[in-house]
Amino acid sequence: MSVRYVARFVRIALLVTVLAAIAGQALGQPLLLGYVSSDSMEPAMDAGDGFVAVPTLLVGDVEPGDVIVYESGDGVDDELVTHRVVRATDDGYVTRGDANPVTDQQDGEPHVREEQIVATALQIDGTVVRIPGLGVAVTTTGTVFGVVQAGIADVTGTGGDQSGRAVASLLLVLSLAGYMIETVRERRRWRLDRRIDDGTTEPRRVAVAVALVVAVAATAAMVVPAGAESIAFVSTDPAPDGELLAEPGGIVETSYRVSNAGFAPIVAYLEPRDEGVTLERHAAIVPGRDSEDVTVSITAPESEGHYERTVVEHRYLYLLPRPVIDALYDRHPWLPLGAIVALLGAIAYVLCRRLIDSGGSRPARKGGYCTRNQRFRLER
């Protein structure tokens, strides 16, 4: 195995690793990799260390000793927390940071429910597989995005939502321009061989692999936090004062919270699945690292009892103009998701090709690319 092959393999592996971490964390849904931002998990993981995040669907049941990534569920500023499971109870899981003297629940936090868990850290022989310093790239990305968004807001005199839209529009324009440049560049080349002379995989296939990683992360960020949520309430006569209690035929009011754990803004569409449910509004734009409440009014049945009503949420990364997302959503809820995933995949593909191509001079080819002028000179 040549030194060139090893160097290229390491460079590609690092590229895929960093992009997977950035995509998963920036979009608010850990995929393949995650990182810790505090020292609460020392000595297993130091602040900024990365780890391999395995989605819960692939892990199965959570057991004591597992290090899990879960939504804090504090109802104010939801965030992703990485702590170890101490034990399982009827109320949920008891968790604790390895460096903390008491459990999270002794510190006043609620028990962690199954639906809050999004990933589990990979462990070998009881030791977390960690990647030192991986969090630096992710936090840097978030900082850059915040600075760009704040700068646009200062220049244009708009609020956070509108500046987020400006960033999304800028990403769209840059990605389309990059895609067109890449297409023209590819058309001007003559492909004479699909493999380079040292037997390594061609850059196009590597770029496709990276694009797939980003596409899967984007899909998870939009699909996993969304879905159906049931609201339980009681119809009783007389109805005491309290939340989610009403007399038969009365009105129950509560809030549906749309939380965004990522840096990119999202657009969420809400639809009632059952009759008698009225929403304050059917769409909400939530900036990065923020949340928004939508009032839900439910008409209680005429008979007493316990009831449930369901609200369905569809969410999308705000990377397309709002009229485009609205038009696609009106046709089918899956269409905006497909369009946004395709957009992010194209951005990742173009950036990856640029990074690989700029990593050094192209190796000599037995039969690689040549321009029309070069081919003309060869024929002469």
pLDDT for 254-298, tens place per residue? 999 998 877 788 999 999 999 999 999 999 999 887 889 999 999
State yes or no: pLDDT of 299 exceeds 50.
Answer: yes
- What's the average model confidence in pLDDT over 145-151? 55
In this structure, what token pair is assigned to residue 109?
């936090």
Chain segment 218-251, per-residue pLDDT in tens: 887 888 788 888 899 999 988 787 788 999 999 9
Task: Judge whether residue 87 has pLDDT over 90.
Answer: yes
Q: Which residue blocks in the chain are alpha helix, DSSP H? A: 3-26, 56-59, 135-156, 160-187, 203-223, 322-331, 334-357, 372-379
Q: Smallest Cα–Cα separation from 90: which of 104, 68, 111, 73?
A: 111
Residue with the bigger pLDDT between 55 and 288: it is 288
Tell me which of 41 and 7 has the higher pLDDT. Answer: 41
Instruction: Provide the pLDDT for residue 263.
Output: 75
Determine which of 264-273, 278-287, 329-338, 343-352 has the lowest per-residue pLDDT on average: 343-352
Contacts of 172 (CB under 8 A, 6+ apart): 319, 320, 321, 343
Structure-model confidence comparison of residues 206 and 238, the more confident one: 238
Of 22-26, 65-69, 147-151, 365-369, minimum mean pLDDT range: 365-369
pLDDT at 144 over 70: no
Check if the beta carbon of residue 338 is closer than 8 Å to that of residue 219. no
Mean pLDDT of 332-342: 92
Domains, the chain, with CATH or none = 31-136 (2.10.109.10), 226-318 (2.60.40.10)
pLDDT at residue 29 in the model: 59
Q: Mean of the per-residue pLDDT values for the chain?
A: 76
Band the pLDDT of 307: cuts 50, 70, 90.
very high
- pLDDT score of 238: 86
Q: Is the separation of the CB atoms in 235 and 248 below 8 Å?
A: yes
The closest of 291, 267, 287, 264 to 171, measured between CA atoms, is 264
The answer to whether residue 190 scores a pLDDT higher than 50 is no
Which residues are bridge partners to 124 per DSSP? 127
Residue 151's pLDDT band (boundaries 50, 70, 90)?
Answer: low
What is the distance between the alpha carbons of residues 322 and 267, in angstroms, rounded to a whole number? 8
Question: Peptide bond before 238: cis, by omega within 30 degrees of 0?
Answer: yes
Please give the pLDDT value at position 172. Answer: 47
Does the structure show a pLDDT above 50 at 194? no
The predicted model gives 80-90 an average pLDDT of 92
Residue reference for tokens 């290090």: 67
- The highest-confidence range among 65-79, 138-152, 279-293, by mean pLDDT, is 279-293
Categorize the per-residue pLDDT at 15 as very low, low, confident or very high, splitting at 50, 70 and 90: low
